[in-house]
Structure 1
Amino acid sequence: MIPPAESLLKYDNPVLVSKSSDRKSPKGRPLRVSPQQPMDSTPVPPPPKLKSSSTDATKQDSEEILHTILPPREWMEGNQLWVQQVSSAPCTRTDVVHLEELLDTKLQQRQARETGICPVRRELYSQCFDELIRQVTINCAERGLLLLRVRDEIQMTMAAYQTLYESSVAFGVRKALQGEQGKVDMEQRISDLESESQDLRKQLNEQKAKCDAIEKREHERRQTEEKKHMEEIQFLKRTNQQLKTQLELMIVPKK
């Protein structure tokens, strides 16, 4: 396992855990057992004042809350397990100014984008927020827990936005692929319709040529029939005139 990278969150010095069975839960606290004192006649010292005990208990509770909010990080080097807990040292105004300067330096060193979606910038600001939670929790555990709720809400909202973004990207890609497939199908359909249109135009031209040929042939036939009909009419008129003349000659009495 690779040792964790440097973080804006302040940690104590790493502690070597010799066996994996000695690995403790992030919420656990080491037991403080004092060595056994030999029995002697020395009088028992008076108990500490109540105020000091209350202060120590409050400090211990704050540390437990701090380690619950910000669990220690662990890594393996060979067969050795290292554990590093967050620092419980109080912070000063100088620490806050140094944190801001360190944040700006990290942003420049890792070339984080100033606008838009940037995982590097988001990671650094998350570390900075955790460090602010650590500093606040040391002085006021309740305020630290409230900031923890704010941090979790922000992370949940960001996760929801990320899920929505990924689903929208997947939807867009799917629609784009469907559009490309539809485009290919439409182009194929257009090609088929153009080919069918050309065939229909060819058939139309052939039918027009046939129609023109039939009209020409029928026109010639009609002219021939009309000419023949006119000749028959003329022949019948001449025949009728001759018969009429003969009939008149036959009817006129002889003198």
Structure 2
Amino acid sequence: MRINTTVLLTLILLTLMLGAGSASGFLGFTLGSMALKGVNTPDGRPTTKFNNSKTNNPQQGNVAFLKEEDILKAVKSRINDKNQGNKTENLEEEEMKSSKPQATEKPPEVTEETLQPGFPVTTESEGVTMSVQSVRYSGGDLLLRVNMQNKGNESIRFLYSFLDISDDKGRTLSAITEGLPAELPAKGSAFKGTISIPTALLDDVKQISLSLTDYPAQKLKLQLSDIPIEKNN
């Protein structure tokens, strides 16, 4: 009796397991088929793709290419139009400028130079003149305003390192020249420049002297003596 009961229970369990497996398989199949509804397999045939591309793009077979001559003509015409537009703009600007009333320029006012007492101090040699027009103190320097002119027939060259300056006690002074020409042209106009001397070298000095010769011939000698530099109290 015990053996028959065991066999019966075993058969019942096997039956239940087979039924549960069959039910789960059927349920999974139905769920999968429901999920795949509406999904189509891709068409891998090349002929159908080619036909579809033709139907989707009907204008590909009707592409028109422009000729090179037409392109060049269009570019040239655009360039000509731009050039004509610029010319017209320039003409309009010139007409506007010419139509505007021009302001009359006032002639520069001429002021007569007032010379200090004892000036100018002038010297001449071989047609070359040199003159000290005025002196003034500015900052820490004494400024001498100098004019030079060559009325001769040959141009004259100078090196201002050869300019000798001495005070009334015979001491040599250092100076800096500015604006004086390195060459005086023949029969030219007057040149203006400045000679500046540090005031530290001019204690108790009332007069100075200048001496300059041409370079390299040294044919002429410009000598200016007794130039008054005393300050007016």
Q: TM-score range by the shorter chain?
A: under 0.3
More helix per residue: 1
Which structure would you say has the larger RCO, counting Cα contacts within 8 Å and 6 or more residues apart? 1
More strand per residue: 2
Query: TM-score w.r.t. structure 2 length?
Result: 0.23
Query: TM-score w.r.t. structure 1 length?
Result: 0.22
